[in-house]
Amino acid sequence: MTQLLLQSSLFEIPPPTVAGLTYIPDYIDAATESTLIDTIDAQPWITELKRRVQHYGWRYDYKARSITNDLRIGSLPDWLQNYAAVLQQAGYFSETPDQVIINEYQPGQGISAHIDCVPCFTDTIANMSLGSPCVMDFTNSKTCEKSSLPLEPRSLLVLSGDARYVWQHAIAQRKADKKNGQIMPRTRRISLTFRKIKAE
Ligand SMILES: O=C(O)CCC(=O)C(=O)O
């Protein structure tokens, strides 16, 4: 029995495939990343959660887990609108995203497992990573299968199909991640999540 366990531990179990997940490393270059971080840091942060956030286009009500008409802020600022337009032109979205949430994660901060609000947002969620690498964990809400994906800075993650509607995603609240057996300490990470609000 021990022998069997030892032998099996030599093999890595391949993670289940998350259908509908597209991961694009180096989606933006380092200069663009740096400019984006400076632009983001020049804007006011909302501090009512454990992590700091910024909302554009529409505010999201974390308590009610919803978006209502009174939460409309206005058009995306130009520096976000350009990315929203490119995401639509690239075919990831059928309509241009009109809502962006920016999340800041200091080491030890994360986001609990969730599926993005189904009545609020359309069928694609796109997420750009800046700063620290981190691991995103996925759990299949039907089968409880698990999978993890290291998110590199400057990458783009697009969730559609099962990745959008069946798999929960989360970032564990910890100060380091393991990648290929190596401990990777986290530093400050910022993510930009692009969504399209569902029409009433
Ligand atoms: O920070 C991330 O990469 C994920 C953000 C997210 O899941 C969310 O804002 O709902």
Q: Is the model's pLDDT at 151 over the cut of 90?
A: yes
Check pLDDT > 70 for residue 189. yes
Per-residue pLDDT of 10-61, as tens digits, reads 344 455 689 999 999 999 999 999 999 999 999 999 998 999 999 999 999 8
- Residues 40, 161, 98: CA angle, nearest 5 degrees: 35
Whole-number pLDDT of residue 2 = 32
Of the candidate ranges 38-47, 80-89, 136-145, 178-187, the one whose mean pLDDT is the lowest: 178-187
Phi, psi of 86 (to 5 degrees): -65, -40
3-state percent helix, strand, coil for the chain, nearest multiple of 5: 20, 35, 45
Contact between 196 and 121 (Cβ < 8 Å): yes
Asked if residue 4 has pLDDT above 50, the reply is no
Residue 6, token pair as written in the block: 């030892």
CA of 89 from ligand 1 middle (Å) equals 22
**Atom 3, ligand 1: residue with shortest CA distance:** 191
Cα-to-centroid distance, 9 and ligand 1 (Å): 32
Q: Whose CA is nearest to atom 10 of ligand 1?
A: 116
Instruction: Tell me the average pLDDT across 115-140.
Output: 96
pLDDT confidence tier of residue 3, bands split at 50, 70 and 90: very low
Q: Answer whether 59's CB lies under 8 Å from 90's CB.
A: no
Ligand 1 interacting residues, C-beta cut-off 6 A: 101, 103, 111, 116, 127, 169, 191, 193
Q: Where residue 200 falls among pLDDT bands split at 50, 70, 90?
A: low
pTM of the model: 0.91
Q: Specify the pLDDT at position 182.
A: 86
Per DSSP, the residues of 14-48 read PPPP-TTEEEETTSS-HHHHHHHHHHHHTSPPB-S
Cα 103 to ligand 1 centre (Å): 7
pLDDT in tens, 90-110: 999 999 999 999 999 999 999
Distance 128 CA to ligand 1 centre (A): 9
The greatest distance separating any two alpha carbons of the chain, rounded to the nearest whole angstrom, comes to 63
